[in-house]
Each structure stands twice: as C-alpha cells, then as structure tokens.
Amino acid sequence: MNPVLSKIIELINSDNFYKAELEIRKIYPNNPQSFDLNKMLGLCLLAQRKYNSALKCFERCFSIKKDDYDVVLNLSFIFTKIQFYEEAINYSKEAIKLDPQRPQAYQNISTSYFFLGKFKEAKKYAEESIQIRGGIDALNFLDTEDLVVLYADILIAQGQKNDFVSYAKKILKKKYLQKILTRLHRENPANIENEHIELTESVIQSSFNIQKKVERNTRLSDAYFFLAEYQSKKNKNLSEEYYIKANKLINDMQRESLFLRQKYARTICNFFRSFEIQKITNEIDSEKGKGLIFVLGMPRSGTTLTESILSTSKDLITGGEKSFFSLQLFETITSENQNELNLDSSFFNDLGDRYLKSIELHRDGKSLFVDKLPENYLFYKYIKLSLPGAKFIHCFRDPWDNAISLFKQNYSINIFYASSFFGIATEYANYEFLVRYWKQMDGDDALFDVEYEKLVKDNSLIDKLWKYCDLKGEYSEEKRKEHFGFTASMQQVTKDIYSSSLKKDDFIDFKEDFFSNLQAQREYWQEKFSN
C-alpha cells in the first residue's frame, strides 16, 4: 500500500481526524474524483462535525458508486444532523434496501420522523431498529443511548405516559442512564424511587475511577445535575451544591471555548461593517420568506413560551429549533480567508432557497412557520438577507434570572458557556451587543421585542404579538398547554403562565461577580466597536 495512504488510515484508526484530513488534502488535488479519498476525507470531516464539507465528499462518492452502504448511511446521518429530513429519510430507505439487517438506518428514519412530528412513523422505525438489535432486553444501553432516549421521547410525545414509565424503570434496573432518569423525574417526581437515588450515588463513586477526563467529567456532571434537580424542591442548599459541582466539571473541559465564541461574534460584526449590503437587498425578492417567523434570544429567555403561545394559531406550525443557519454558516464564518469569500446575492439567494427546501416537509402546507432556535440572534442579518420577508421575535429577560436558569440546565458541552456565571456573563454581553448592532443597522422595529417579565404578567403583550405575526382567530391558553415535550422548557410552558421564575435569589454568592463580569464584557464590546 502507498505509504501516504497507510499513514492516513493509521491516523483515522487512532481517531486523529484533523491530522488525517491535513494529509488527505496534500494528495487530494491530484485526484479529486477518487472514491477512496473522498470517503476518507468525508469520514474525517464528519468526525469534526464539519457537516457541509463532509456532505460534499459523500455526495461525490455516491455519484461514483451508489451501492456502498457506508456512504449511503453517512448521507442519511448527515442529512438528519443538518435537519434535511426528507433527504435523510430517502437515503435511510436506500441504506435499508442495501442491507435490511443493519439497524442504524431505521434509527435515522425514526429520528427524522420524530422531529417532523410524525410520531406513529417514528415509533415504527425505532421499534424495528430495536428489534434488529435483539429487542429491549438485548440492548447495550450505553452504546445505544441515543436510540433508547429517542424511543422514550416518542412514547412521551404520543402521550403514552404509563408505557414510558414502565419502559424507563425497566431500563434503569439494568443500566444507569441519566437522560432516562431525568425524563422519569420530569414526567412525575413521584416516579423516582429510593433505588434510583442509590443507583445515582453509586455511579458517582465509581466514576472517580474513570481515567479519561471527558468521560469521567461527563458521567459525574450528569449524575450531579439529576440530584440537583431532584433536590430542588426538597433541599435548596444541597441542590445548589450539586449544580455547582456539575457545572464545575463541565467548565473544566471547556474553558478556552469562551474566547472562541467571542471571536466568532466579533467576526460576524466585522464582516457586516465592511459588507456591501444594499446591492444584495436590491437583488433578492423582498417577499421571499414571507410567513416565516424566527424566535430568537438567549436560551432560557422565554423563546419556548413564546413559541407555545404562537402554536395555538391554526394557520401556523412550529418547527422547533432548526439549526440550519448555524450549521450552514459555521464554516463560512470561521474561514481564515473572509475577504476571499464570494458572498454575493447568489450566495444569500441560494441560502434562502435551501432553508425553504429544508422545512418544506415540516411546513405541511401551513402559511406560517416558526423557527425557534435561540442562537439565531447570531445570524439575524444572514437570515434577513436570505429571507427578506421573514419576521423576527426577540425574547429577553432579566440578565440574572436568565443566568440562573441557564446554570441549572444540563447542556453539557453543547452550550458550554452555561457551566459558569463568568461564561454566561460573557455570552450575555455578546448577545446584547449583537442585537443592538442589528437594530442600529436595520432599525429598532427590525425585531419585535418580547420581555419575559411582561409576557408572564401582561396579556396585552400576547395581543400585540398576535397582531405582529398576522395571526387570525383568538389566543387559547388551553391549547398552549397541550404543546408536547419534556424538555426543561416544555415542562414549564405546559403549566399555566406564571411569574414564580422572576427575580430569583438563588446562587446569591455569585451575583455580584456575574454583574461585574457582565459590565467588563460590555465595556469590551464598546471599546471594540466604538466607531
């Protein structure tokens, strides 16, 4: 075998995907249509979560050879991750045709149907995936955690609470899974038995012996988060202690990421400071994106509550949190050659077209569609240029209340800044500046402001929200509470709108430092963009 290829394969087998990618790119220009090179490069990019680049590689592979199971399966997986569910389903079905006895394609279809709100179909394919693996009793719960949790969420979404409880308790007798335990607790705290607490505590003790830092910290933090939530109504001081322990473990893995996040936001601002916007605006249909409503802001700022209020309209369908722009733009924004990027009207027009295509199946013919990914505040101007007819709702709340709510959620590494009050203060300042920056650019009315504190107290704000979105009919509080889900946010919004989450005094010892750091970060942005 060629020594270079041998080295690449060795790097891939040792999970050194970044170095493997660099080695592949040295020889790739000489043979860009090579099936093997594109497959290896696709695997390296996929492992690094560079989904768009990986997709191009596997699509090249597919154009060369259409019966390679791994290629087809990877295409189905990528389309699932980037939320192109129709394509994900089609490629998953192709993978099943190639090998009906391999379970992952069934799981990919199930995931797609679940996020499309088609729970009957999701359950069917999830059960097929489980059956191929030998049934529930034969599952290695740790290796198949995503499937196990998916099936739990399907039962919950279908309202099959008794089936879910039986399923969850059966699993927990065999294997500790924090996500299952947390869902069991949120469905009804009375479901939690002494043996579940004892199991969690034994997991904590055994986790200290795990040598790999990421695995150890993740496992420990999961357990502490559950105990914190479990104790929240029983022992406030103990609950806070567990929250602090859990977040410290996550923060220990993610310290450097805060400054990368700040750099990311700064890159976005710098780009639009020097970007010729008017020409783009003139060349894209101003009606494009009409009927789309983006709900954005900091996580835990009231975005889910706002979505649930809008969901009561018969003319509207909610798409949940669509990561489209985050995934599509990441590689563009982080490019080291920003000046060389050809981001003209065709780029934004194509970006808008692809978004519309990605939601077509989910939209199901409804005139209005809600995308409630909070972090779309980062991408507001990209979205506005791509879909000029869209409307934007900006949710916000008291910074300290927002910080506490973030700190008490187990986001693990997905929202890493939430693991420390310093990190939350840094991100909150990023968010504040960007929203202010967009309003300076497009006017104060570019985003419709929804203040959480007013939303839970003042019904007139709901009326104004209703009018802004051009919704017909009357708002229904009863229908709002029927909105499904068992995330922390959804657990809250399925209750009556209430104000008990306002002006909390939790974690009071951290409050002064939080506001001190927030002010320092505000001054940082003021200094960077004072002109």
Per-residue pLDDT at 315: 85
Model confidence pTM above 0.85: yes
- pLDDT the model gives residue 484: 45
Domains along the chain?
193-254 (no CATH), 257-528 (3.40.50.300)
The pLDDT value recorded for residue 366 is: 83
pLDDT of residue 234: 92
What pLDDT does residue 485 have? Answer: 43
pLDDT at 258: 76
Task: Give the Cα separation of 230 and 313 in Å (integer).
Answer: 35
59-68 contacts: CB < 8 A, separation 24 or more?
A: 60/32, 60/33, 61/35, 64/33, 64/35, 64/38, 65/35, 67/98, 68/35, 68/39
Q: Tell me, what's the pLDDT at 501? A: 60
In the block, tokens 């200094």 appear at 527
- By the 10 Å C-beta count (0-12 exposed, 13-18 middle, 19+ buried), 120 is classed as exposed
The segments of the chain whose pLDDT lies below 50 read 484-488, 490-491
Instruction: Please report the pLDDT score of residue 487 as a whole number.
Output: 45
User: Which has the closest alpha carbon to 493: 503, 483, 479, 502?
Assistant: 483
Compute the distance between CA of residue 503 and CA of residue 513 in angstroms, rounded to an integer.
Answer: 17
Which of 318, 219, 331, 179 has the alpha carbon at shortest distance from 267?
Answer: 331
